[in-house]
Amino acid sequence: MNLHNTVTVITGGASGLGRATSEHFAAAGAAVALFDLQPEAGPAFAKQLCDQGHRVRFYEVDVTSADRVEEALAKVREELGDIRVCVNCAGIAPAGKTFGRKGPLPLDTFAKAIEINLIGTFNVTRLVAAAMSGNQPGPEGERGVIINTASVAAFDGQMGQVAYSASKAGVVGMTLPLARDLGSLGIRVNTIAPGVFNTPMMQSMPDEVRKPLEEIVQFPKRLGLPTEFARLAAHIADNTYLNGETIRLDGGIRMPAK
């Protein structure tokens, strides 16, 4: 699917990997709808892209809210046009051992990770699929592409990542069933499982945290660049035969136990 003039929804689109994806897709000519919960940074980022000549709108959206997502998708279709691509980047990364010095991991911590990372991803996926189902099909019958974000933690979860790993493993686990559910509608579903990326959060970490992570990357010996995530998302959108797949984007890293 050519991104030029293609309406794209990007959740978590105002920060981290989502921000880089928003910039890349906008530069490729897509009309970008930013779904995020940053009432100041989100509109400012959208304005920055608009000032560069791109079609971008910000929508304050909680991805776990069925009503809010449905309302926002309706506004996107009204203001930008039919939605053909969705990239789900919204998520959180709570840390905590199942049982540690402070006792058992609070159940709310586990539940929140599942709610945002897994249920939020599914909520947006099911509703954007409904919107895409009414699109006019392209030359091969394609109506839409959905790209979800997991993590290498889905496979190599470290100590203290039980909630995060479980939520991201759920995203991986539903990738193929989603593709099978939606294939007859001409909607593809794929997942990216990034390794450790050089996002603002990682940039704030001291060298003693960053350097060991860089060392266990096979090649190249560095953290991933957010633009590399964005480029893979764009390739997935463009490559019509790529469907039902989870792609690790990690430089060959395999995370140790801790």
Among the listed residues 45, 58, 164, 197, the single catalytic one is 164
Q: Please name which of 249, 124, 116, 245 lies closest in space to residue 174, comparing C-alpha atoms.
A: 245
Q: What is the per-residue DSSP string for 94-111?
A: --B-SEETTEEPPHHHHH
Indicate the Cα dihedral angle 122, 89, 62, 3, nearest 10°: -90
| Dist CA 144 CA 26 (whole Å) | 18
The CB density around residue 43, as the number of other CB atoms within 10 Å, is 17
Q: How far is CA 49 from the centre of its chain?
A: 19
Q: Please name which of 181, 139, 168, 159 lies closest in space to residue 246, comparing C-alpha atoms.
A: 168
**Residue 59 annotated in active site:** no
Q: 187 and 143 in contact (C-beta within 8 Å)? A: yes
Quote the tokens at residue 15: 């920060």
Q: What is the residue type of 171? A: V
Q: Is 68 exposed, middle or buried (0-12, 13-18, 19+ CB in 10 A)?
A: middle
Q: Is 92 exposed, middle or buried (0-12, 13-18, 19+ CB in 10 A)?
A: middle
Give catalytic residues, as residue numbers: 164
